Chain A
């Protein structure tokens, strides 16, 4: 195999490792998400309680996935990927900073319902994903 091909193969192997990390993180997210939804109780969406042990298991699964995923990502990602991630996080944080205070104030003014944890996390997550996608694909 030519030397140039070896370098290309090394790059492709790095890309495969990157996709593997993303896939593993997504699977862990789906497992914890489905586990939570399947065992939830209560009348409305995410309004019930879960057993303490399940809370611990899901919280630990989330933390382990996030920490291990972040370390693995940092090892594999190049500077462009880190740049895209930084943009995504900056846009996610900006969305939270712009939306949460007005929402909270309007709730205190009895105009809007109380801000929800899930709604705010969803906002952060979606805005981060959109920011990342914007820098990566557009």
Chain B
């Protein structure tokens, strides 16, 4: 349980910034995404990590790559880093 909470805490996002740039309220963004204002608030404050489908929906809405909205603070955030890990696993 604690491990899961720590994992959640490792992901931050730029949703609030992107929303502010468009001058949208949380309710307006929620309406566009088909989720509640509370869900937008929970994602912005890092209390809740969205599902992959919702994360992709957010990325499409803001026309921004998903990894530029949701940042994994546990790694350095680069694709090559993830690829290196995958290669190591395969060889072992």
Contact = CB atoms under 8 A, between A and B. Distances in A.
Task: Decide if A and B are genuine partners.
Answer: yes
Interface of A: 4-12, 14-15, 18, 78-81, 83
Nearest to A13: B31
Contact of B28 (A8, A14, A83): A8
Interface in B14-47: 23-25, 27-32, 34-39, 42
A11 B28 contact: yes
B40 to A, nearest CB: 9
Contacts of B34: 78
B27 to A, nearest CB: 4
Listed from nearest, the 4 A-B pairs whose CB atoms lie closest are A7-B31, A80-B39, A11-B31, A78-B35
Contacts of A5: 28
Contacts of B38: 80
Please report whether the interface of chain A is mostly helix, strand, loop or mixed according to DSSP: helix
A136 B54 CA distance: 19
B86 to A, nearest CB: 28
A79 B54 contact: yes
Contacts of A79: 35, 39, 50-51, 54
Contacts of A4: 23-25, 28
Given A78-B36, A79-B54, A8 B27 contact: yes
B70 interface: no
Contacts of B25: 4, 8
B35 A9 contact: no
Contacts of B39: 78-81
Contact of A15 (B23, B37, B50): B37
Contact of B27 (A11, A78, A80, A83): A11
A80 B31 contact: no
B30 A11 contact: yes
B56 interface: no
A7 B28 contact: yes
